[in-house]
Amino acid sequence: QVQLQESGPGLVKPSGTLSLTCAVSGGSISSSNWWSWVRQPPGKGLEWIGEIYHSGSTNYNPSLKSRVTISVDKSKNQFSLKLSSVTAADTAVYYCARVLSVHDAFDIWGQGTMVTVSS
Amino acid sequence: QSALTQPASVSGSPGQSITISCTGTSSDVGGYNYVSWYQQHPGKAPKLMIYEVSNRPSGVPDRFSGSKSGNTASLTISGLQAEDEADYYCSSYTSSSTRVVFGGGTKLTVL
């Protein structure tokens, strides 16, 4: 069964770039699924960040689009998130997730990784 | 403010049934059958409970059911159990550039 695992620094300085990777195991990132990033600030709800297909096609949340880059590395079976010019408002648990099918639900989630933006 | 509106909290006793609503617009909930529901226990990742309005993934008890009427989707949990106590989030595809919207979440308390 497919499993997802996020990794990356837990602390990022203000104005810096947040970088996370999601490793896909038990399946291929080149399957007919989109792959997403979702975040959750402490004590708050879920926010969709964006998604990528193995071809490299991407869609981003317009509220973050100017700062977000999602990429895929098929050779390593993983995809990544970069969020630039971070502020304290970007402090959150970041989840990677598999999209069931186009426009559809997130059926598999990583365990999440907490990223704090602080000097 | 979340794009989809959910009640902040609901409660019920073991064995009872509860329903959580999720209200959107014709651009999301009302316009597409891509409504999903997630259960989240404290400190854990969300878990998919319902997709495409009323479908249950393998392994999800049939006590959980979903429906939609107009711009409002609903999650019903029957035969409440203690382990159902969690936060529940709805989500929908949207024709806006945002593509995916979530509700603000509902805290379910099993009394």
pLDDT at residue B29, as a whole number? 96
Chain B touched by A41 (CB under 8 Å): no
For B45, the closest of A48, A51, A95 (CB atoms) is A95
Least confident among A58-67, B1-10, B18-27: B1-10
In chain B, which among 79-108 make CB contacts under 8 A with chain A?
A: 89, 91, 93, 97-105
Q: What single-letter amino acid sits at B48?
A: L
Give the up-direction half-sphere exposure of residue A93: CA atoms within 13 A in the CB hemisphere. Answer: 18
Task: Write out pLDDT tens, residues A51-85.
Answer: 999 999 999 999 999 999 999 999 999 999 999 99
CB contact under 8 A, A62 and B46: no
pLDDT of residue A8 exceeding 80 = yes
CB A28 within 8 A of CB A88: no
pLDDT at residue A104, as a whole number? 82
Per-chain mean pLDDT for chain B: 96
Looking up tokens 């770039």 gives A17
pLDDT at residue A26, as a whole number? 96
pLDDT of residue B2 exceeding 80 = no
Q: Which residues of B touch A64 (CB under 8 A)?
A: none
Task: Write out pLDDT tens, residues A22-55.
Answer: 999 999 999 889 999 999 999 999 999 999 999 9
- Candidates A93, A106, A112; CA nearest to A33 is A106
pLDDT bin (cut points 50, 70, 90) of residue A101 is confident
- Candidates A84, A99, A89; CA nearest to A41 is A89
